[in-house]
Structure 1
Amino acid sequence: MKKISLLLIIVWISHTNAQSNYVPTTENLEARKWFDEAKFGLFIHWGVYSILGDGEWVMNNQNISIEEYEKLPSFFNPIEYNAEEWVKMAKNAGMKYITITSRHHDGFSMFDTKLTDYNIVQKTPYKKDVLKDLAAACKKEGIKLFFYYSLLDWHNDDYFPRGNTGTGIQGRGEGKWENYIAFMKAQLTELLTNYGDIAGIWFDGKWDRKDANWYFDDIYKLIHDIQPQCLIGNNHHESVLPGEDFQMFEKDLPGKSTQGFASKPEDIGELPKEVCETINGSWGFNLKDRKHKSKKELVQYLIKAAGYNSNLLLNVGPMPNGNIQPEHIQSLAEVGDWLKQNGETIYGTEGGLIPPNENWVSTQKGQTLYLHILNTQKNILFVPEFIHRITSIKLYHNKSKIKFEQTKYGLFLDIPLSEQNDIDTIVEITLK
């Protein structure tokens, strides 16, 4: 790695005030409100690791040495990449924003950075800044852009002392942690000054060095100083830290812990929320991944996320040539078609009065409550302890009234089997 530059020193000195007493600006609060209502975004994991077709952790999983891994960029030439097609695909799917990896754990920068020559412009035959094209396409189509940025780095010698991952990678040197922090701050400055309005920074990797001093107060202040509206999230699997603007949950609904991450009910705060999930079983392109999720699985996960008062950030891993797998494009189009018919029950909603369970979730706008029935029921459905006063109940798709009875024990709904949908039967309840 290059020695610390004057730019790094300037960035380091200029942003030393703490964010512990962070008060979000009006622009930031407005951005939070937009984010809270957006509900659906596209996650993109893309880097030189896609060449090997074994996911974004291939350097760690196969213990590929620094010397060996540095050969990969010379093969990376995504001549099929078309940023406008990617953005239109996301927009057609009903997505409101895109989050893309600017730098992942392998340390390779997918943008034109001046802080290291280990980047897509200087080390690949493609020689173009893919983030620049994506930022322009997002602006054209009205899609907001977030940058994923890895805190963890298996390539940079200044990422030292090392963490819990990448321990089998040969060729890693020893450097200065403070230089690494300054390097990250300078790269974040580039990302926030060279690509227009950035909706958010999506951090990942704190868990590799859980107890290290990451200087988040300084880093978060830097971001908010440059772009006050820019939302900060950190995939640390903990309660939110001062200066963060939204809370994220990896492959789990808020409060669930099926993946072994620390997502306990007491960790859930009041900030806007986001669940990230894969369209198959991998984040980065995996040639042998056969765990492609069905339309039903994808739509129901989106519905559940909304019912848990959260966005869904759905990931695709583009191939090394710049194309997205055709089956993923098809699946996103199917979700988009569903949203064209039912988006009113998702966008701009919050988690509804009826608590979620395995059979249903509810979303709500004002006095309109949408009950999403996700598992086919018998015609009689009982919602326990529902004692709220009701004006009317009808099926969402055709507005036909359904019979109901409200008792002190709860609400009984009579939904004809012929009107039930295998993916989602939506009951619209108007409250007094």
Structure 2
Amino acid sequence: MKPRYRFLAVLLLLGTVTFSQGQGNYTPSQSNIEAREWFQDAKFGMFVHWGVYSILGDGEWVMQTQNIPVKAYEKLPTFFNPIEYNAKEWVKMAKDAGMKYITITSRHHDGFSMFDTKVTDYDIVDGTPYGKDVLKDLAEACRAEGVKLFFYYSLLDWRDDNYFPRGRTGAKIPGRSETGEWGKYIDFMKAQLTELLTNYGEIAGIWFDGHWDQKDWDGKKFGKLNVDWHYDEIYKLIHDLQPQCLIGNNHHLAPIEGEDFQMFEKDLPGKNTKGWGTDASDVGNLPFEVCETINGSWGFNLQDRKHKSKKELVQYIVKAAGYGSNLLLNVGPMPNGEIQEEHKESLKEVGEWMRANGSTIYGTEQGPIPPTDKMASTQKDKTVFLHLLDVTETEVLLKDFDRKVRAVRFYKDQTSLNYKKNKNGLLIKIPEDGLDPIDTIIEITLK
């Protein structure tokens, strides 16, 4: 067991960790602790935002951004027919890219379920000409390839009358009732989560989103919570059904009791560039995951041209690992079920880099050199991997590096490098022809 999780497990067993609104007196099972360790080692996963909103080619928030009336939006499933969807190809593509798991939207904020649910007909099996359960196919393909599967699940709903009181989003969508029973909505969610954790084999995790919809917002920070999400019941339900199943919640807060990993949306851990509250004071002791888009959108967006380069993607993986975090990289499939060619090519390029350099990422912990825009470090046992990003200097000083060094060499070909320890730290000399425009990796062996 890694030190961070050993420390957390002891605290949980002693009952000294306190959070709010979560699964009271939660002690993770042994299988859950092992799943956390696997997750922390995995480092790279694929996020998939896919639903009937893809038809409109304007992202997954199109119902909200265009204020589409409920009755009008309900027409979308009637011509959602993704005949080019191939779960085996998706999983192979993710695996070839070096991704160890897939997290897919089972239900997004529009309320449409992408699986065969029995508690509503507003789902892909009952409401579309396609009529098949895409999550069932994906679960089978993941098992065949040894890729773990997570389900994204939206807490908020822009269509269900029982999602009441209304949250901050969806308020202007026409056709919504001004009455509802919150208790029935909680029961609906628990019924769907039971289906997801009963009908699809072993599920690696549940990825919640939407908590923030029921919090006051002044444009800079979140205020009080206006509803009871019943996390005590929901988290217990999940852990009772599948004890190893990891729970994460995109609430932009410090971890709540019962959660098993902490996520950071479009931000590195402790960085609060979006103003969503995930600053240093909210960073807990759970495994980390950063989620980011491969272009500029989560759901398919026909006008999005912000496709990230190989350099941007690789460096984001490296920076996330430098914080001890996974990167969950999102693609938004097209309405026909295919993933854009630009994104396939990007994933192929990333996969080639991961095959050559993945041992400096997978199974590592945050290294001793604090990450910056120019460098990051990861570590395995007594080996530190220094990742130099956009560095053109042939001398690099690692300030205050007080570890005893046995050897310094290029990771790529194991060529020894000249180095010197002094009162300021560790000075490494790098031949100019050894600099890599994306990531120059230096291997530091400690005594």
Superposition TM-score, scaled by structure 1 size: 0.96
Q: Secondary structure at the match of 2:64?
A: helix
The SS at the match of 1:430 is strand
Of 375-384 and 326-335, more deviation after overlay is shown by: 375-384
- The answer to which of 142-151 and 208-217 deviates more is 208-217
d(CA) in 2 for partners of 1:381 and 1:18?
46
**Alignment match, 1:107:** 111
2: CA distance, partners of 1:381 / 1:109: 52
Q: Deviation of residue 425 (structure 1)?
A: 0.3
Task: Say if 2:295 is the partner of 1:295.
Answer: no
Aligned to 2:444: 429
Is 1:169–2:173 an aligned residue pair? yes
- Asked if 1:185 is matched to 2:190, the reply is yes
Tell whether the 8 Å contact from 1:43 to 1:100 is kept in structure 2 after alignment. yes
CA contact 2:54–2:60 (8 Å) conserved in 1: yes
Which SS does the other structure have where 1:232 is aligned?
A: strand
2:6 maps to which residue?
none
Q: Which residue of 1 aligns with 2:371?
A: 356
SS at 2:197's partner residue?
helix
Aligned with 1:193: secondary structure? coil
Deviation at 1:266, TM superposition (A): 1.0
Contact 1:109-1:119 within 8 A present in 2 as well: yes
Matched residue, 1:209:
214
1:34-113 map, 5 Å = 34-113=38-117
Q: Greater CA deviation, 125-134 or 170-179?
A: 170-179
Measure how far apart 1:377 and its partner are: 2.4
User: Aligned to 2:426, which of 400, 405, 411?
Assistant: 411
Q: CA deviation at 1:271?
A: 0.4
- Report the equivalent of 2:332: 317
In structure 1, what residue type is equivalent to 2:156? L
Q: Which residue of 1 aligns with 2:126?
A: 122
In 2, Cα distance between the equivalents of 1:88 and 1:419? 33
The letter for the 2-side match of 1:59 is M
- Contact 2:142-2:148 at 8 Å conserved across structures: yes
Structure 1 outlier segments of 4+, above 4 Å: none
1:18 CA drift (Å): 7.2
Please tell me the residue identity of whatever aligns with 2:128.
Answer: T
Offset at residue 127 of structure 1 (A): 0.2
Cα displacement (A) at 1:415 = 0.3
Q: Please list every run of 5 or more consecutive structure 2 residues that lacks an aligned counterpart in the other structure.
A: 1-20, 216-224
CA contact (8 A) 1:107 1:156 kept: yes
Unpaired runs of 5+ in structure 1?
1-16
Distance 2:213 2:393 in 1: 48
Whole-angstrom CA distance in 2 between matches of 1:18 and 1:409: 46
Is the counterpart of residue 402 in structure 1 residue 405 in structure 2?
A: no
- The range that moved more, 352-361 or 227-236, is 352-361
User: 2:144 is matched with which residue: 137, 140, 143?
Assistant: 140
Question: Of residues 373, 391, 402 in structure 2, which corresponds to 1:387?
Answer: 402
Corresponding residue of 1:10: none
Q: Secondary structure at the match of 2:187?
A: helix
User: Residues 237-316 of structure 1: matches in 2 within 5 Å?
Assistant: 237-316=252-331
1:394–1:429: 8 Å Cα contact kept in structure 2? yes
How many angstroms does 1:357 deviate by?
Answer: 1.3
Distance, in Å, in 2 between the alignment partners of 1:381 and 1:37 is: 28
Query: Does structure 2 retain, via aligned residues, the 8 Å contact 1:18–1:221?
Result: no
1-structure distance, mates of 2:391, 2:302: 35
Aligned partners of 2:22 and 2:258 also within 8 Å: no
Deviation sequence 1:7-46 (CA, Å, 0-9, x none): xxxxxxxxxx972110000000000000000000000000
1:376 Cα deviation from its structure 2 partner: 2.0
Map of 2:201 onto structure 1: 196
Partners of 1:288 and 1:182 in 2: CA distance: 38
Q: Secondary structure at the match of 1:335?
A: helix
Partner AA of 2:174 in structure 1 = Q
2:357 corresponds, among 342, 353, 367, to 342
Q: State the distance in 1 between where 2:266 and 2:301 align.
A: 18
Q: Name the CA distance, whole Å, in 2 between partners of 1:117 and 1:99.
A: 23
- Is contact 2:22-2:256 (8 Å) kept? no
Root-mean-square deviation (CA, aligned residues, Å) is 0.9
Structure 2 Cα separation of the partners of residues 358 and 335 of structure 1? 20
Measured at CA, do residues 18 and 252 of structure 1 come closer, stay the same or move farther in structure 2, by a change above 3 Å?
closer
Deviation string 1:281-306 (CA, Å, 9 cap, x unpaired) is: 00000000010000000000000000
Q: 1:292 to 1:18 in 2, by over 3 A?
A: closer
Aligned residue type for 2:138: L
Q: Distance in 2 between matches of 1:248 and 1:387?
A: 31
1:72 corresponds to which letter in structure 2? L
Question: Which amino acid is 1:263 matched to?
Answer: T
- Following the alignment from structure 2 to structure 1, what is the Cα–Cα distance between the partners of residues 22 and 57? 42
Deviates more, 1:243-252 or 1:405-414: 405-414
Aligned-residue identity in percent: 67
Q: Determine the C-alpha separation between the residues in 1 that align with 2:126 and 2:241.
A: 26
One-letter identity of the residue aligned with 2:308? K
| Alpha-carbon offset, residue 375 of structure 1 | 1.5
Deviates more, 1:84-93 or 1:377-386: 377-386
Alignment deviations for residues 51-97 of structure 1 (CA, whole Å, 9 cap, x no partner) = 00000000000000001000000110000000000000000000000
